[in-house]
Structure 1
Amino acid sequence: MDQELLVEWLQGRELVYSFLARIYQEGPVGDLLVALVREQFLEELANNSQNEELAAGCRQMQAKLTARAGDLEAYRQELQEDYNRLFVGPGHLEAPPWESVYRSKEHLLFGEETLAVREFYRSFGLESKKKNREPDDHLGLEMEFMAWLSQAAAAKVQAGEDATEFLQGQQRFLKEHLEQWVPALCSDIQGAARTEFFRGLALFTWGWLQVDAAELEAVLEDFCGGEKS
């Protein structure tokens, strides 16, 4: 892969991870839904992917958004209710969006998994902007971290510098964190969501991580001469 294609690939990944970071952290905010309807971002992703889960999830989300474009605010309210049930509360959460809840024996927040994620961020000179307000291992923050690493890698490549550290960091973070708990989270979302939009988001999320892990491995073998973490 030449440098121009590599930068384009990294920027595309940053866009997807940034979208996932926002939807999981902020929910179905109005301007995001409007942009999804207008720009057909999800349909484009579906058309360009051979991963069945990713394509199906994106088309599921896009179809509902398109069908409800005429009453988008009413649909946003329906989605917000589902988002709150799944991820926010009050009360029991159907799909708690924190790694530690899925991976710790006690299924509690702020476990050793949270600290491990915090240390991973710190190894790249980062600190969560929501430190002490939101556990570092919230899915939205983990997706935001992946977006940041993509952006940092692209900047290195554009400057003619070595981006291996950031690419390997992404590969490690996928293997050590996201791949360890997101499949279970996505399964819970699919089972509990009352809207097609969020059931589609679950498919999209896990499909995307599968695609990205495979592409990242191939790029590391090609661009970085087979060096891996």
Structure 2
Amino acid sequence: MAEELARAEVYGLLAELFYAPPRGELFEQLRVAVTEAPTAGAFLETHWSEVVGAARRLSWAEINDEFVALFGGVGKPEVCVYGSFYLAGFLNQQPLVNLRQDLQGLGLERPPGVLETEDHIASVCEVMRYLIAGDDAGVSNLAGQQRFFNMHLRAWAERFCEALAEHPRADFYRAVAVFARDFFAVEAQGFDLLEV
């Protein structure tokens, strides 16, 4: 159960960081976060340490400016955060339609006032968090997590992370991207074991 909670927390953290720069309490939590894993040599330990190190080294204003430079601004952002772009080459394509159908089947919909489409990396991470930590065992179970991950995250998350990590303006978000890439790889391996 502790492992499931940890997975849900990582998805929740990634959702927050990819939706907006870390503000207030989250920024302070990152700056004082533990960097040593409970098990020595854990796969994600090094890249998590880099996320924490970047939060300690940079000011909130610097991270905010980086977020705006990478994901904001007028027109096309420097790094696209939408799955349709990576899967179909354009925004608002069939992958978004498929995702919306699956979200409807889960009883989920985009909240009023949210402008980003459901294939935003933050939104997809938030759905994974829900599928892990939700109370409805009919929805929140390993089979549902595996299906959603394979259908809506696996095919494009690595490309998104690589594009972000390689961007010359990325510093804090380079660390986040590398950590996210490795976390998604661990998730993929775990889900592959379910198929054996």
Q: What TM-score, normalized by structure 2, do the two folds share?
A: 0.87
Distance 1:30 1:120, change over 3 A: same
CA contact (8 A) 1:46 1:59 kept: no
Match of 1:194 among 153, 157, 169: 169
2:66 maps to amino acid:
D
Please tell me whether the aligned partners of residues 49 and 55 of structure 1 are also in contact (alpha carbons under 8 angstroms). yes
| Displacement of 1:212 | 1.7
In the TM superposition, structure 1's runs of 4+ consecutive aligned residues that sit over 4 Å from their partners are 44-49, 162-165
> What is the alpha-carbon distance in structure 1 between the residues aligned to residue 123 and residue 38 of structure 2?
24
C-alpha separation in 1, matches of 2:187 and 2:128:
11
Q: Choose the corresponding residue for 2:91, options 109, 122, 126.
A: 109
Q: Does 1:8 align with 2:2?
A: yes
Q: Is the 8 Å Cα contact of residues 27 and 83 (structure 1) preserved in structure 2? A: yes
Structure 2 residue 17 is the aligned partner of structure 1 residue 33:
no
**Post-superposition offset of 1:123:** 1.5
Aligned-pair CA distance for 1:50: 3.5
Q: 1:97 to 1:47 in 2, by over 3 A?
A: farther
TM-superposed deviation, 1:92: 3.4
| Other-structure match for 1:63 | 53
Distance (whole Å) between structure 2 residues aligned to residue 109 and residue 188 of structure 1: 16
Q: Distance in 2 between matches of 1:163 and 1:12?
A: 21
Whether 1:91 and 2:80 are equivalent positions in the alignment is no
3-state SS of the aligned residue for 1:34? helix
| In structure 1, C-alpha distance between the alignment counterparts of 2:132 and 2:162, rounded to whole Å | 27
- Higher Cα radius of gyration: 1
How many Å separate the matches in 1 of 2:181 and 2:45? 11
Equivalent position of 1:119 in the other structure: 101
Counterparts in 2 of 1:182 and 1:130: CA distance versus 1, 3 Å: farther
Could you tell me which residue of structure 2 aligns to residue 129 of structure 1?
A: 111
Q: Distance in 1 between matches of 2:171 and 2:68?
A: 15
Q: Select which of 17, 25, 28 maps to 1:23.
A: 17
Query: What one-letter code is carried by the residue in structure 1 that aligns with 2:16?
Result: R
Look up the match of 1:159. none
Q: Across the two proteins, how many residue pairs are aligned to each other?
A: 196
CA drift of 1:214 comes to: 2.1
Q: Which amino acid aligns with 1:117?
A: L
Write out per-residue CA displacement over residues 134-160 of structure 1, whole angstroms, 9 at most, x where no aligned residue: 2110000000000000112xx46xxxx
Partner of 1:174: 149
- Equivalent position of 1:208 in the other structure: 183
Pairing 1:140–2:103 present: no
Q: What SS class does the counterpart of residue 83 from structure 1 fall into? A: helix
Q: Offset of 1:66 from its aligned partner? A: 2.8
Superposition TM-score, scaled by structure 1 size: 0.76
CA contact (8 A) 2:33 2:52 kept: no
Identity rate of aligned residues, in percent? 25
For residue 10 of structure 1, report the CA deviation from its aligned partner.
1.4
Report if aligned partners of 2:23, 2:60 keep a CA contact under 8 Å in 1: yes
Unaligned runs of 5+ in 2: none
| TM-fit CA distance, 1:67 | 3.6
Distance in 2, Cα, partners of 1:127 & 1:89: 26
Q: What stretches of structure 1 of length at least 5 have no aligned partner?
A: 1-6, 69-74, 157-161
- 1:70-85 aligned at under 5 Å gives the runs 75-85=59-69
Task: Note the C-alpha offset of 1:197.
Answer: 1.4
CA deviations 1:47-84 (Å, max 9, x no partner) are 66643xx333212121222345xxxxxx1111111111
